[in-house]
A and B are shown apart, each in its own frame.
Chain A
Amino acid sequence: MAQVSTEQVWDWLDDVPDPEIPVISLVDLGIIRDVRWEEDTLVVSVTPTYSGCPATSVINLDIETALRGHGIDKLELRRQLSPAWTTDWLSQKGRKKLEDYGIAPPQPAGGPAKCPNCGSKNLQKVSQFGSTPCKAHWRCQDCLEPFDYFKCI
């Protein structure tokens, strides 16, 4: 089969959901750092969100499954540590989807801008950690809903 374009591969990867937050794709999450052909091998560089994130091996498996499903035979996944992943790499589309899903997107100020449920700015931090390594646990003081905040790193 002729080599598909790397743009096509990026599109395919944008259909692979994050295993822990399935409303956003791996591309939205900003962890796919590079896609390139090295002779007849497709090389995809992936950076971990958190060094101990248990989803990392699932993510690699999902990438491999998706690309093999599109007919890619020779595939190599490379771990790229530097530059370290930052939430600045979340796509605008991804931030919007997070908020629609009920997860407040990361803010440089270090806390959520508003309640993803009612929009209130009257918020309280419950815990610096949440249901996954990338999230913290907050609560809205107006609608009283607890919600996840995607930590800014």
Chain B
Amino acid sequence: MTHDEALLQFLLRMGDNTLILGHRVSEWCGHAPVLEEDIALANTALDLIGQTQLWLGLAADVQGDGKTADDMAFLRDAWDFRNVLLVEMPNGDFGQTLMRQFLFDAWHSIMLGRLITSSDPRVAEIAEKASKEVAYHLERSGDTVVGLADGTEESHARMQAALDYLYPYVGEMFLSDATDAEMVAAGIAPDPAGLRDEYDALVGRIVDTATLTLPDGRFTHKGGRDGRMHTEHLGHLLTQMQWLQRAYPGASW
């Protein structure tokens, strides 16, 4: 793998995570339990899609064949996506959506914090911008997880079920492969495995405050960030997200 090939994979991983989660969160638009939550979810999705434009725009530049961030988002098929499985999981109920958001935000904030000192200034400036937005996401998703879990018997049970369901997807964010080794060697990005202790401390603190119980096992589903095998959910998501470009190729306005 050449350096640019590894850099492209790394950028796709960052951009596909924000794209797929941004799309998932946007599915709530007009459906959230109360207006304030609807607006909050839509704003979170907007930040994530904005970050996607930066990451995938840079990925397209590195690929160097004249494609744009839009091409990357709308003209690739499921096997080309490099997002972790966690972000493509269905929304479920409101609690499950916020639990997924929290589990991702915690990783995202730690990762972006490291990328601010990336040796590649293009990566560093995107991370600097995104980390401000993500700090806000994390504050909100963490507070909401605590509020719901330490709420009624019903809301507590739903948040515990969401954590039990989603936790086996957490480990994939900390796997390392040849792409990561190349990024570490070039000083562009940290080894994901090295972020786990900080993540466990952060998540553990919120989970305790929320009166939830972290599942015991460290088993993890994987296959998203290396594109080996996504869940069946990604293809369904893409049929919605990419519908317009598939029905009307090249449409723009």
Q: Are A51 and B40 in contact (CB under 8 A)?
A: no
Does B133 have its Cβ within 8 Å of any Cβ on chain A?
Answer: yes
**Which residues of A29-66 have CB atoms within 8 Å of chain B's CB atoms?**
48, 50-54
B45: nearest residue on chain A (CB-CB)?
A: A52
Contact B47 A133 (CB under 8 A): yes
B39 touching A129 by the CB < 8 A rule? yes
Q: Contact flags (1/0) for B29-58 with A, using CB distance below 8 Å?
A: 000000011011001101111110110000
Say whether A131 faces chain B, with CB atoms less than 8 Å apart: yes
Contact with B along A75-97 (1 / 0, CB 8 A): 00000011111000000000000
Q: Closest residue of chain B to A126, judged by CB? A: B36
* Distance, CA A77 to CA B132, complexed state (A): 24
Q: Who on chain A is nearest to B121 by CB? A: A82
Count of A residues near B, CB < 8 Å?
A: 21
User: Judging by beta carbons under 8 Å apart, are B36 and A51 in contact?
Assistant: no
Q: Is the interface of A mostly helix, strand, loop or mixed?
A: loop
| List of A residues within 8 angstroms of B36 by Cβ | 126-127, 129, 137
Bound complex: CA of A151 vs CA of B125, how far in Å? 21
Most buried by B among A48, A50, A53, A126: A50
| A85–B131 CA distance with the chains assembled, in angstroms | 12
In the assembled complex, the Cα of A128 lies from the Cα of B147 at a distance in Å of: 14
Determine if A17 is an interface residue (Cβ-Cβ < 8 Å).
no
Instruction: Tell whether A84 pairs with B140 under 8 Å between CB atoms, given A51-B54, A133-B43.
Output: no
**Chain B residues whose C-beta falls within 8 Å of the C-beta of A118 in the assembled complex:** none
Contact: B132 with A153, CB < 8 Å? yes
Is A151's CB under 8 angstroms from B48's CB? no
Bound together, the chains give a CA A84 to CA B48 distance in angstroms of 16
Q: Is the CB of A54 within 8 A of B125?
A: no
